[in-house]
Each structure stands twice: as C-alpha cells, then as structure tokens.
Amino acid sequence: MQVHSLTTKPLRVIFAGTPDFARVALARLHASGHTIALVLSQPDRPAGRGLKLQVSAVKQFALEHSIPVAQPRSLRLDGKFPQDAESARQAMADAQADVMVVAAYGLILPQWVLDHMAQGTKFGCINIHGSLLPRWRGAAPIHRAIEWGDAETGVTIMQMDAGLDTGDMLLKQSLPIANTDTTASLHDKVAELGAVMVVQALNLAAHGGFLPVKQAVEGVTYAHKIEKHEAPINWRLDAESIVRRVRAFNPFPGATAVLNGEIIKVWGAHVGQGSVTEKPGHIVAINPVGIAVAAIESVVVLTELQRPGGKRLPASEFLRGCALQVGQYFECSVVPDAS
C-alpha cells in the first residue's frame, strides 16, 4: 500500500475517543500535520479507592496540547441529556472539521452526527477498529481474537454508518498474534498500528479521497463485551482453551479459580506436556516453574498467580506463601473479583 506524505493543506479533524488505545492515535494525528480542531471524550469518571474523578487518557492529552474538549454524556438530541448533545453539536459546527476520527469513544454516534460530518466536501466519520473486518465486529475484538485462537488480527480503518461496524473499509492491515500475547500486549500493538494507519487514511483523503471497499457478507462474527462473570476457569475445557482465556482476560477481568476457599487470579499459564486421567481441576505436579493442573485429558501449567489483596507473583514466589500439595483441587470461582 503506497501512502503519500502530507503535502497539501492539512485536514481539520474532530477526534472522538476515551482510553489509552485512542490516545495513541490522537498523539500520532497531532504530530502528523493535521489540525485537531476538537476532541470528544467521555465525562470524567470516579476511580481508585478514593473515587476521585479521573480524566480520560484522551482528555489528558488534549489538555496538555491546548486542544478544545467536549464531554457530552450523550449525543442523542432526543435522549436523557439533550443539552449535552446540543452543546456538542454547536462545538462540532464551530470546529468546521473535514473529518471525524473515532477510536474507542464509548458513545454511539446518532444519525445527526453522521449526517453532519458527511455534508458538502467532508469525509464523514472514520473509525479505527481493532480487527480484520468483518471478523470480530463489536466491543472486544482483541480479547475475542485471542480467546478463539485466531492466528492473526489487525486494524481496519472504516467509514462509519448507522450499523455496528458495518461500514465500508478504507484501509486494512493484518498483525500476527503470538502464542504469548495477552490482551494487554496485543492491545498495544494494535493501538500503534491503528495510529499509523489512520494518519495514512487522512493523507489519502487530503490527496483526493478514499477508495471504499464493501465488507464481505461471509465470516461476520461479533466480539461481545467482556464481562466479569466470564472470569472463572472451567477446568472441564481442554488446556489450550483454558490458556487462551487466561491470556484473553489479562488484564481484565483476570481468570480466576478457587483454592482452599480463596479466589486466586491466574495471570499466566501454558499448556503442559502429556495427558492426564485425574479429574479436571486437580493439581498433578508442583515445581518452581509452575503448578500443573488437570484439564480434559491435558495439563495447564499455572505460572503467575495472585492471592486476594496480594501481588501478582511467579509460581516460584507464590508457592513460598501458599503451600500446595499434589491432589489438591482448584474449583471454578463464583465471585468475579479477587483484587
């Protein structure tokens, strides 16, 4: 894919995003020569033990670089917060932007936003989506790609429409998934690739526009939001499935299992060698490298664990404070959070 450098007039951009995934793209766009005329980010949220209001990663970057910020609670003019939506509409009009870039914003864009950004010679709303569409539309494409054992993922720069990740594709690039990748590590790779690609997309727009490609109707899957109730390990799965879930749920919500009445979080695991006849969940071997636990005709080796209120520890250190014996039993936890 050949992408021209920016030699024409920079585009004026409205950027809509909230977490660190979006901040990476905003930083790259800010450095690219395009003008960030307005940032939309979700309202400040209480966080931490003191529940103090915390600004989003995107808002923090905008404040540090004197970029105007709007934080509507909703963009629906007929919704619960119509004044917020009307204020955001006025801010968008004042921005006189050529394009809106959306990355993990967290609010649904109503039709009036899509229509406003498509007027005249504007390039509409484009989204940085962390999958190779139409694979893994929806909220958690990185998690689900790991959980289901995909060999690769990637980024699709997509023209937004009224559907859920159904718009035409503008750019698409793959990224291999390593067998050691967690959601945390793969998130950073996808975020960086998406940031590079969205700058490429705007440079193409500045040189005459996009060449949209319709999504295939085959191969559509949905990456549903990750929920805390998914955290308990089901030892009645095969070892590979369990290990993929441990990787997919790192850092949130963290895979869990009950040991001696305590809810233990499992942050690291790999598939062990050989097969077993012991019942799923039983410890079959213990050594400094890890704790081997029976799954269905296979073994999961737990390599990083965390007790309630404790730190994440490699198995060798975890065993110093938690004496275990072969034959003990890991249950599936029913309480989702051990931290």
The tens digit of pLDDT for each residue in 6-61 reads 446 799 999 999 999 999 999 999 999 999 999 999 999 988 777 889 999 999 99
Phi, psi dihedrals of residue 243, rounded to the nearest 5° = -65, -40
Helix (H, G, I), strand (E, B) or coil at 249: coil
Predicted pLDDT at 216: 95
The tens digit of pLDDT for each residue in 86-123 reads 999 999 999 999 999 999 999 999 999 999 999 877 89
Q: Which residues contact 291 (CB under 8 A, 6 or more apart)?
A: 283, 285, 301, 302, 305, 315, 319, 324
Residue 68 has pLDDT above 50, yes or no: yes
Q: Are 147 and 225 contacting, i.e. CB atoms less than 8 angstroms apart?
A: no
> Which of 104, 100, 110 minimizes the C-alpha distance to 74?
110
Residue 209 has pLDDT above 80, yes or no: no
Least confident range of 99-103, 104-108, 273-277, 311-315 = 273-277
The tens digit of pLDDT for each residue in 154-200 reads 999 999 999 999 999 999 999 999 999 999 999 999 999 999 999 99
Q: Are 198 and 23 contacting, i.e. CB atoms less than 8 angstroms apart?
A: no
Residue 333 has pLDDT above 70, yes or no: no
Average pLDDT over residues 70-74: 98
Q: Which domains does the chain have, with CATH numbers?
A: 12-223 (3.40.50.170), 229-321 (3.10.25.10)
* pLDDT confidence tier of residue 5, bands split at 50, 70 and 90: very low
Q: What percent of the chain has pLDDT over 70?
A: 95
DSSP, residue by residue, 93-106: HHHT-SEEEEES--
Average pLDDT over residues 242-254: 98
What's the CA dihedral at 301, 306, 307, 308 to 10 degrees?
-140
**What's the chain's length in residues?**
339
pTM: 0.92
